[in-house]
Amino acid sequence: MSEWWRGAVIYQIYPRSFRDTNGNGIGDLPGIASRLDYVASLGVDGIWLSPFFTSPMKDFGYDIADYRDVDPRFGTLADFDALLAKAHRLGLKVIIDQVYSHSSNRHPWFEESRQDRTNPKADWYVWVDPKPDGGPPNNWLAVFGGPAWDWEPRRHQYYLHNFLKEQPDLNLHNPQVQQAVLDVAAFWLDRGVDGFRLDVANFFMHDPQLRDNPPRPHPAPDKPSYLQRQIYNRTRPETLAFVPKLRALLDRYGECMAVAEIAAEDQLATMVAYTDGPERYHTAYSFVFLGNEFGARFIRDSVERMRAMSDSAWPSWAFSNHDVVRVATRWGRSAADPGAFAKLMLALLTSLRGTVFLYQGEELGLPHAEVPFDRLQDPEGKTFWPRHKGRDGARTPMPWLADAPHAGFSSSEPWLPIDPRHPPLAVDAQEADPDSVLAFARHFLAWRNRQAALIGGDIRFLDTAEPVLAFVRGEAEAATLCVFNLGDADVRAELPAADSATPLAGHGLPGAFEGRVARLPAYGAAFARLVGGGDGAS
């Protein structure tokens, strides 16, 4: 059975912001289909589609009212089938978001469940009696602010919502609910998708005893939930008992895979727990590289720690996505040459051992967009402004045409504004520039696709001082030495593994070896074959 996902590069598409074809200012499935040739030209292996299902859009698709249909804003099921067929013709795998932790409060399951305590779906959500004083059953806090409990007068009970009150948590302790979500998964697998990205995969179950979360000291929290150790409302051992059921379903469809999104107190250990073994998910990614901490030592320690915990757990890595500040700004805010920094991040991300998730616009080096308060759409941003401005800055429309209205995304005003720094970085402008970030992304991924060690090889780090990061991918004839300068000044680094290095040309980043010494300009990188194997030049 092919494990196509090992070492694959998967391009994340946020449908609402990719391409609008009907002029309503919101991206749609036909818009994605119209740009799949562009995606394929990057040299990626597949796409991940963020939610496009029927939804009231309180959390922009992560509040699902019908798991088996397309929201009219995005198109129809026929549009999805056409997109899927075109992607497969182009050799692209397609994975889609699945949100099993919670639904919309407009979902028929919840509409029935909330009516009384005796209906057939009465136990499909997490319902709890109030305390004697009328308050919620415990101290759990929602990610988006306030208590994680809301009152339902028809049942005289509270229901759990780890996110918005419009996103009630499903009760996956109930075997009927487990079967219902497995049926949803089978619906999309039967349509031909190649796998799932499982939203907040470690939030599926809660502590049945409803114990209070203990405090977690935090000097300056952006959100009140950061003041708790969330050990009873997420990452419960009960969740792991459900994982083999979903894995068994996926295995019946051959080459299909699942990547779990992990947000946990110990992110790397939780990634391992959810992926270590044939009954776990195929891979997982966390927010370990989606935060503000950056540096050669930090990257090395993170990768080595997970690697040391398991030989079989396969990681996934991302530097940007729809929930966080774009890497060009988050890690590259002070970069003297933003374009060079963006190229380096692309090369580094796709050289690490694991599956890669590349967010739309990363191949253009887009900085995080500034969205004024009066244009904010994200409920998280509206609640926590100005200390935490939410996620809208990562979700602004994709710039296609530098000189067209709305950067060629739509014929009308988009749902989020175009940052004025983005049109000059549009696809058409970069395609005309052989030195652009886009040109580099295509060139580097084409080169990477010829380097077996960078796709499936193991990883071994070398001792280097900041800001140099060096590691070896693969073994023997396939071993490849990778060296990166994460700093904004030239560096000279001695590398004990470089005695028999043959420089690999064709990767497109400046850098050179002189015996055991790597000479790298600011944001440069160098690659070499350690034992034979030719130079891999393009």
Give yes or no for residue 536 having a pLDDT over 90: no
Q: CA–CA separation, 308 vs 264, rounded Å?
A: 19
Mind giving me the DSSP string for 323-340? Answer: TS--HHHHTTTT-SSHHH
Whether the predicted pLDDT of 529 surpasses 80: yes
> Is the pLDDT assigned to residue 532 strictly greater than 90?
no
Q: What is the pTM of this model?
A: 0.97
Q: What's the pLDDT at 219?
A: 78
The span from the CA of 370 to the CA of 142, in Å, is 26
Asked if the model's pLDDT at residue 165 lies above 80, the reply is: yes
Average pLDDT value for residue range 3-17: 98
Asked if pLDDT for residue 534 goes beyond 70, the answer is: no
Kindly name the residue from 166, 199, 363, 378 that is annotated as catalytic: 199
- Domain locations in the chain as residue ranges: 9-103+175-446, 458-529
What was the pLDDT predicted at 531?
64
CA 175, 178, 180, 182 torsion-angle sign: negative
pLDDT bin (cut points 50, 70, 90) of residue 2 is confident
Higher pLDDT, 53 or 506: 53
Confidence check: pLDDT of 215 > 50:
yes
170 vs 177: CA distance, rounded Å: 7
pLDDT above 50 (res 97): yes
The SS3 call for residue 170 is strand
Question: Where does 9-103+175-446 sit in CATH, by number?
Answer: 3.20.20.80
> What average pLDDT does the segment 138-159 reach?
97
Q: For 231-284, write each residue's pLDDT tens digit.
A: 999 999 999 999 999 999 999 999 999 999 999 999 999 999 999 999 999 999
Lowest mean per-residue pLDDT among 76-90, 162-176, 218-232, 352-366: 218-232
| Residue 472, pLDDT score | 95
* Average pLDDT for the chain: 95
Q: Crossing angle, helix 175-191 and helix 237-251, to 10 degrees?
A: 30
Active site residue 293: no
Distance of CA 166 to CAs 63, 128, 160, 297, 308, Å?
7, 17, 10, 41, 40
Fold of 458-529: Immunoglobulin-like (2.60.40)
- Matching fold, domains 9-103+175-446 and 458-529: no
Cα–Cα dist 474/457, whole Å? 4
Q: Is the pLDDT of residue 332 over 90?
A: yes
Active-site entry in 261, 362, 378, 392: 261
Question: For residues 81 and 29, what is the distance between their CA atoms, to the nearest angstrom?
Answer: 10
Residues 337-391: pLDDT tens digits? 999 999 999 999 999 999 999 999 999 999 999 999 999 999 999 999 998 899 9
Can you say whether residue 528 is alpha, beta or left, with left for phi > 0 and alpha for psi between -120 and 50 degrees? beta
Q: Measure the CA–CA gap between 392 and 191, rounded to whole angstroms.
A: 31
Exposure string of 217-244, with b = 16+ CB inside 10 Å and e = fewer, is eeeeeebebeebebebbbbbeebbebbe
Cα-only R_g, the chain: 23
Instruction: Label residue 498 by pLDDT band (50, 70, 90).
Output: low
Question: Which pLDDT band holds residue 102 (cuts at 50, 70, 90)?
Answer: very high
Report the pLDDT value the prediction gives residue 535, as an integer from 0 to 100: 38
- pLDDT mean over 329-335: 96
d(CA 273, CA 284) in angstroms, rounded, equals: 10
Show the tokens assigned to 69: 């249909």
